[in-house]
Structure 1
Amino acid sequence: MIINTTEVQAINSFSRLESLKEIYGIIWTFVPILTLVLGITIGVLVIVWLEREISAGIQQRIGPEYAGPLGILQALADGTKLLFKENLLPSRGDMRLFSIGPSIAVISVLLSYSVIPFGYRLILADLNIGVFLWIAVSSIAPIGLLMSGYGSNNKYSFLGGLRAAAQSISYEIPLTLCVLSISLRVIR
């Protein structure tokens, strides 16, 4: 049997084309997510800059002007400052609770975005119980606030964490009632 080299080359180029198709599919899966994240990030930076400029105008003072032209990079400078800020831990408190508490609060907020659809076919978890899962996951944040307040072993920090958790719980009840009433109306 004689093997034709052009057929072998055609088969090899076809298999390369299929692997490129898979790679492009993976890349195009992340492009909308990256676009959404960049859009939200730029929007937040612009809103922070506008808020500083408008509040400076209302207070009759000069707004941010040193970080970049017209102070546009002020939010980036503030974020960099917060990243390199000293991390103070209480000497007599519970280090694990004090460190894990803010992480739990932030993770619960970020996880609540997993069930929110950002567009057609742009959803992380398509569940039948999406609204209930969103309410349940967002209700975890007060636990993190209590943990960080209690972990400091300071009565004032604990009272501050208790107050923040009580405020968070008190707004969750009307939010839950509103979301569930809208969900029941849509189901009909």
Structure 2
Amino acid sequence: LFHSDEDSDEDDDSNSDSAADRYDNDDDESESSEGESARQRAEFERAERHQRTRAGMRPGSLRWNISELSHVYLRRYRLRDSALEMFFIPTAGCAFGGAGLCSSLSSLFVDFGPGYEGNVRRDNAANSIMKRAPAQTVKQWPERSGQFLHEQLRSLTMAWVKGRVTNFDYLMSLNVLAGRSYNDLCQYP
């Protein structure tokens, strides 16, 4: 933890040989350690707030590196076309996505709200993200959603037929293409 200059000064008068003095000093030490702990906690919280401010983050906000974006899919949430699901490169390698797509740490599911406005916000956000995403990112553009799914399904099936994809990865990828998600209980596989 953090220490201030005041915390490093120690009292040399606390060394006494009598039992009463030792008892009194123990009480003083517990009070001073509680005060020191509170000071350290306050200093830690100040430093944490400062770091968040310098990073431009609000408490509880999260960041993902767009260069690690591997898949962007349009999703339904609560039976509305208003969500977006993004997958990031997992730390452990996997075939066609497989286990990496299932990790809650490697994906982000965002709902843009109800109604037509939510759909428009989702499509605008998807277009903005996909324009900035790396070229190798798998992208489901709003304007070409049906064609995208057909192409992905065809290439996935060919990879499975040729033995380049395991049965498990094939089924997991089919669920992803069908709109299933571990991030939405309504669409859970």
TM-score, normalised to structure 1's length? 0.23
TM-score, normalised to structure 2's length? 0.23
More helix by share: 1
More strand by share: 2
Query: Higher relative contact order at CA 8 Å, sep ≥6: structure 1 or structure 2?
Result: 2
Larger radius of gyration: 2
